[in-house]
Amino acid sequence: MSLDLHQGASVLAGGEELALALDREDPLSSLRAEFAIPPWPGGRYPERAYLAGNSLGLMPLAARVAVVEELDRWAELALGGHFGGPRPWVPYQEQMRETSARLVGAEVGETVCMNTLTANLHFLMATFYRPTAERFRIVIEDAAFPSDSYAVASQAVHHGLDPARTVVRLRPREGEHVLRTEDVVELLEREGGTVALVLLGAVNYLTGELMDIPAITDATHAAGAVSGWDLAHAAGNVHLAVHDWDVDWAAWCSYKYLNGGPGAVAGAFVHERHARDVSLPRLSGWWGNDLSERFRMEPDFVPRPDVESWQVSNPPVLSLAPVRVSLELFDRIGMSKLRERSLRLTGYLEALLDGAAPEIVAEVITPRDPSARGCQLSLRVPSGAKALAERLGDEEGVICDEREPNVVRLAPVPLYSTFHDVWRAVDGLRRLVPA
């Protein structure tokens, strides 16, 4: 079925019937059956419309099986599970070397699943943030996720620096909601000699803006600084090619678009030109030691010549099992197909909102250009975003999330969201956010 995403009123007029027809004709609609969809007891529909995968992804049904398998091995093999069975625990994370690399566009040996996101930011900044008297500033976006702000400020303090002088917070132009690439580049051209690190969110958590990673990375390197990226809202959401884009390092979480479960083990990337450099300073631990040396139990650290030298502890197998399952799912389908479906779902959401504009007082603050966003659209409502999100859940069976005071975030995730979910969200907004 042809869908003209520029005709908001026509799309809105198609109503529920159009949404259901689009789902019937969607070749990837069957993916939903591989996930646990929250029920809506007593509601108008048996299941809730889940548009909060940008906050916590839904559980792949195979995740339960994967965790139970490891529990069974623990019960049956105990210590022997470290080296025995079909998936020994000692090299467990190596099962994800190729799938995680393909997900973010890296080479094998450049990615590792370890720790959690902010911990990985600190571990990598311990290596790549080396301030000098002249070059010490860290550039982030003003609307960075708070944990990123805390992390860079504390790194400044750790080096005896004043965060107020060290951290540069990029703000959009007056009257605009998102950063312009040319403004980031211009700052680096003007003040790059004082910048040690540029650490931006590849997809901004609040606005949903997808930054121009290659252009900003190039400008960062031209200024003589290090390029780091927070991929928390980008991994599993948009196409990434961090190796080819020459990114120095990156980190991401696995519980949002990657559906690894609450507090899931995160991921990290270090470009091979750094990962192979065993002379780089790093916070070291037993699990980062060279495999041929590890079990000699010597006191001297011999780093592995890849990103796993940043891994300090053995893999938490029970927590990694769902991440392994999810990465295999992404690998089987491919980001190109998922991105194509994402563009259709998000475009449909945008068209519905445009068509309902006379009825809904809400401003989309996410870029209109599909290539400059992921699957999330952020709406600025007059007030009471938290109360609105709660009413959507209670009265309409639509789960979304909000950021106070006035932003509601809707994320139609291509793995399990449907056109009907999107229609239900806008239909509910028409009742709850009247003009």
More reliable by pLDDT, 1 or 271: 271
Residue range 117-140: mean pLDDT, rounded: 98
- Asked if residue 299 and residue 385 are part of one domain, the reply reads no
* Contact criterion met (CB below 8 Å) for 198 and 250: no
Rg over CA atoms, the chain: 23
Buried b (16+ CB within 10 A) or exposed e, 311-345: bbeebbbebbbbbbbbbbbbeebebeebbebbbbb
Model pLDDT, residue 58: 98
For 356, which DSSP code?
Answer: T
Q: Of 212, 217, 239, nearest to 228 (Cα)?
A: 217
Distance between CA atoms of residues 1 and 172, nearest Å: 39
CATH code (residue 27): 3.90.1150.10
Q: Are residues 170 and 277 in the same domain?
A: yes
- Whether residues 23 and 166 fall in one domain: no
- Using one digit for the tens of pLDDT, what is the confidence trace for 284-323? 999 999 888 888 888 899 999 999 999 999 999 999 999 9
Residue 33 in domain: yes
Model-level pTM?
0.96
Q: Please report whether residue 80 resides in a domain.
A: no
Name the residue with tokens 């994800």.
Answer: 96
Report the number of distinct structural domains present in the chain.
2
Q: Is residue 416 part of a domain?
A: yes
Burial state string for 400-412 with b = 16 or more CB within 10 A and e = fewer than 16: bbbbeebbbbbbb
Q: Which of 312, 332, 352 is the last residue of a domain?
A: 332
Q: Report the pLDDT value the prediction gives residue 2, as an integer from 0 to 100.
A: 54
Residue 311 and residue 332: Cα distance in Å, rounded? 27
If asked whether residues 184 and 292 sit together in one domain, one would say: yes
- The reply to whether 2 falls in a domain is no
My answer on whether 217 and 271 are in the same domain is: yes
Share the mean pLDDT of the chain. 95
Same domain membership, residue 358 and residue 314: no
Domain that holds residue 352: 8-60+335-432
User: In CATH, what number is assigned to the domain containing residue 292?
Assistant: 3.40.640.10
Tokens at residue 115, please?
């720790």
Q: With H, G, I as helix, E, B as strand and everything else as coil, classify residue 200.
A: strand
C-alpha distance from residue 186 to each of 134, 170, 192, 207, 216 (Å): 19, 11, 9, 22, 10
Using alpha carbons, select from 352, 314, 162 the residue that is nearest to residue 152.
162
pLDDT, one tens digit per residue, over 347-378 is 999 999 999 988 888 899 999 999 999 999 99
